Amino acid sequence: MIPGLDGLRAIALLFVLGTHTGNLEFGWIGVQLFFVLSGFLITGILIRMKETQAPKAYFTKFYGRRFLRIFPLYYFYLFLLFGIKFITPYLDLKPLINEFGDKFWMQVWPSIFYVYNFFHASASYEQSRFFTHLWSLSVEEQFYITWPLILFLTPKDKLKKLFISAIIIAPFIRGILYFIFAKHLFPFTIDVPEVANYVLPFAHIDAFAFGAYISQFKIPRPRLQFIVAIISVPVIGYLSQYLATGRIGLNTLGQEFLLSSGYKSIWGYSLLNYLFAVTIYSVAKTGLFTRILNSAPLRYLGKISYGLYVYHTAVIWFILKFNILFEVGTLGIYLFALAITTIIASLSFYLFEKPISDLKDKFFPLS
């Protein structure tokens, strides 16, 4: 594992947890960091496999290893929700009865088939803390399904053109999606265009492409680019907020949820993805912040970050619905949710995920 990347995963997760507990309005951008990281890591893996594996092995080993890493926890979580659904009628707990009522089946079917993000963009979507976060895992899985074939068919000398083209075309795709959803051209879609640009996979091709680019090609003066990006992204965000709304949300860092001001849902993701790309590159290639990112707590949280992400919204729901902490405030809820989710994710990792994931080298060895 490249030093510092587990720490970046931890930061991304802590950001997302901050949003879901009402502490960080900008914490949702942690999902974008996850996307760029995936593009960086998966592209590196696939390029190495393409150079060392026969075509059949390239696909079977990649998909087999991903299957053992991703699917068991995901479907175990859905299995737990099924369990809650079937015991709910025997429990006198109104919040659970309301949450796991008729809308449960509408939520679970798109989750099973990894198309929850498309359901999220439909007119029939209803929010559920137990399912809503699965949209990003659907985007990731759709990337895992399509990206190996794209890279396999692309000659090595055309990779740079592929990545740059995806980065350039992404804002135009988001613009088209914005128009389609704003005009409500299809009756089965939601009429909030910012949501479409948030959850649909086509809108995030530049996140994965930015990650892919930095996995294969150098960028000049990365630390200077990082400094420029870390300053300019919030400044541009605040400026667009003010010009569009006449106000500034300081807690948003100019990156309010759904990037709803000044048409930022069309162009703002490009800036965020660029920021995260130069951040990852600076960490991976120049060692920026690695002393902090390699600290034991961040490395550990990064190692179990998949489980933390899968379980955390359910933990927050139980804390809020049953008033477990009463009047401790959002920071107290954040810390308690982090502690409980860490315990659950740790047990899940060592007792369930890791034993299955370790089978990768037995059934799908890369050497």
Q: What is the pLDDT of residue 325?
A: 63
Q: What is the pLDDT of residues 171-216, one digit of tens each?
A: 999 999 999 999 999 999 999 999 999 999 999 999 999 999 999 9
At 253-265, the pLDDT tens digits run 999 999 999 999 9
Contact 217, 42 (CB under 8 A): no
pLDDT-based confidence at 324, cuts 50/70/90?
Answer: low
Separation CA 98–CA 161 (nearest Å): 51
pLDDT > 90 fraction of the chain, expressed in percent and rounded: 89
Whether the CB-CB separation of 275 and 8 falls below 8 Å is answered with no
How far from 327 is each of 319, 323, 330, CA to CA, in Å?
Answer: 12, 8, 9
Q: How confident is the model at residue 26 (pLDDT cuts 50, 70, 90)?
A: very high
pLDDT value at 326 more than 80: no
Q: Among all chains, which residue has been given the structure tokens 């075509």?
A: 55
Positive/negative CA dihedral, 74, 360, 43, 7: positive
Give yes or no for residue 328 having a pLDDT over 80: no
Closest CA to 93 of 312, 323, 315: 323
Q: Give me the residues paired with residue 122 across strands.
A: 189
pTM: 0.96
Determine the average pLDDT of the residues in 338-358: 97
How many of the other CB atoms lie within 10 Å of CB of 134?
A: 27
107: pLDDT confidence band, cut at 50, 70 and 90?
very high
Mean of per-residue pLDDT scores for the chain: 95
- 3-class state of residue 15 by DSSP: helix
Beta bridge partners of 231: none
* DSSP-derived 3-state class of residue 256: coil
Average pLDDT over residues 308-325: 88
- pLDDT of 321 above 90: no
Q: What is the pLDDT of residue 320?
A: 87
pLDDT attached to residue 158? 98
The structural domain count of the chain equals 1
Mean pLDDT calculated for residue range 289-310: 97
Structural domain of residue 129, as residue ranges?
A: 5-363
Examine the pLDDT at 118 and tell me if it is beyond 70.
yes
